[in-house]
Amino acid sequence: MVIKKIEEKQEVSRKSVKTPQLLRGFRDILPSEQAYWDKVEEVAGRMANDYSFGRIRLPLLEQTSLFERSIGKATDVVEKEMYTFIDPSGTRVTMRPEATASVVRSYVEHGMVNKSQPVKMWYFEQMFRHDRPQAGRYRQFWQFGLEAIGSSDSILDAQVIIMCHRMLKELGISVKFLLNSIGTEASRREYVMELVSYFKQFRKQLSEVDKKRLTKNPLRLLDSKEEGMEELRVNAPQILDWLDEDSKQHFMKVIEYLDEAEVPYELSPHLVRGLDYYTKTVFEVVEAGDEGEKAQNALGGGGRYDTLVELLGGREDTPAIGVALGIERIILAMKNQGVELPKERLIDVFFCQLGDAARRKGLVVFEKFREARVSVAEAFGKGSLKGQLELADKQKAKIALILGQKEVLDGTIIIRDMESGAQEIVNIDKVVAIVKRQLEMMG
């Protein structure tokens, strides 16, 4: 009776166990997708190193004030999207929503101003934004970023754009850049006054969100996606007409360099980007077929941030430029544009075993191949030779090794050429060397 009750209880509790689900906006990147991730990371890292950018790995948590001060309090990211909490020691901390602020903090904190300028760094890190999830927009996502701090030369603006172009091209994606200049803070002040007086005429037509922007962050009216804004924007004053001479010259040079390097771009007078720290050049990169300003899912974006170092307590007049590319969006674009990568890792050798003694011996042989850096797969969990050979075939192995009871006793192993089906028996102690030689010959 007692036992029955216990069993009943266990039954009930088993039924009530629910598998915890992924959080909304978060995702697993499964082994079948790794080929894309590996490829993007490899190309990005190689590109950055080729252009003398050094890798920086950043902490995931920072003091909240870092982002409030740099990104700006009236921006969507800081107002609505940050994962902020009080840590056990009572500090207000935030899971980074972007990395430029952290890179600059690091530049200042480690006195990199004393190194030869510009200091060039790259990162490949996760970001967190509590945004509304949709296709290509997640709450945890990855960015590859480049930052060059300590030079105002427009050739650096061009260089980071050219690097993104080359990298995306190598990944098989054709893209174009949307470019604008938002000048210096001083030149922008006058322009913003003009912009506010323009939009004030239409105050009644503005949505609540845009009314708030009109007082708090008027530049954002230019890239507002609210209904009716597209028409209102057509006659809005354009920032390019208000640029100071220095910003104008700077921008012209960037364009000249891009022409020289044959990078496809469009001027995009309403592009302002969402973060407060930008100055002069701003840009986004979108898939080549996207409709310029209407493109919602940019692959990346960046610009100059000539005042950020000073704002975070570094030396006055330390200009900088950077870019961040979204890895999930790059992978989506690769798939969109038909770039195919093998789903499974291709291997050279597949190890088949039959019977317990062979499996035991197999562990040792497998390890020898691994040490010799020959890519070898196995299916120790499988019993039948047929099943194992099918797997070898599926994984496109060039050679299968077969170890059965008899071979274990004889100290031999069978080498099978997967293409021709030809088999030979060799001494097990020599198998690694023989297989290596055969693979070299197969090329």
Residues in the site for ligand AMP, rule: CB under 6 A?
Answer: 98, 129, 131, 136-138, 141, 143, 274, 298-301, 324, 326, 328-329
Nearer to ligand AMP, 324 or 402 (CB): 324
Find the helix or strand (DSSP H, E) in which 304 lies. strand 300-304
Q: Cα(first)–Cα(last) distance of the chain, in Å?
A: 71
Nearer to ligand AMP, 183 or 326 (CB): 326
Nearer to ligand AMP, 301 or 314 (CB): 301
Residue 421 region by backbone torsions, left for phi larger than 0, else alpha for psi between -120 and 50, else beta: left
CB of 305 to ligand AMP, least distance (A): 12
CB of 380 to ligand AMP, least distance (A): 39
Nearer to ligand AMP, 292 or 355 (CB): 292
CB of 160 to ligand AMP, least distance (A): 13
Nearer to ligand AMP, 94 or 143 (CB): 143
Closest CA to 307 of 186, 214, 213, 189: 186
CB of 213 to ligand AMP, least distance (A): 17
d(CA 157, CA 144): 17
CB of 162 to ligand AMP, least distance (A): 18
CB of 350 to ligand AMP, least distance (A): 38
Residue 208 region by backbone torsions, left for phi larger than 0, else alpha for psi between -120 and 50, else beta: alpha
Nearer to ligand AMP, 157 or 378 (CB): 157
> What's the token pair of residue 140?
């945890």
> What's the token pair of residue 155?
């050739």
Q: What one-character-per-residue DSSP string does 56-110 give? A: ----SEEEHHHHHHHH-TTSHIIIII-EEEE-TTS-EEEE-S-SHHHHHHHHHHT
Peptide bond just before 118 cis, omega within 30 deg: yes
Check: CB of residue 311 under 8 Å from CB of residue 149: no
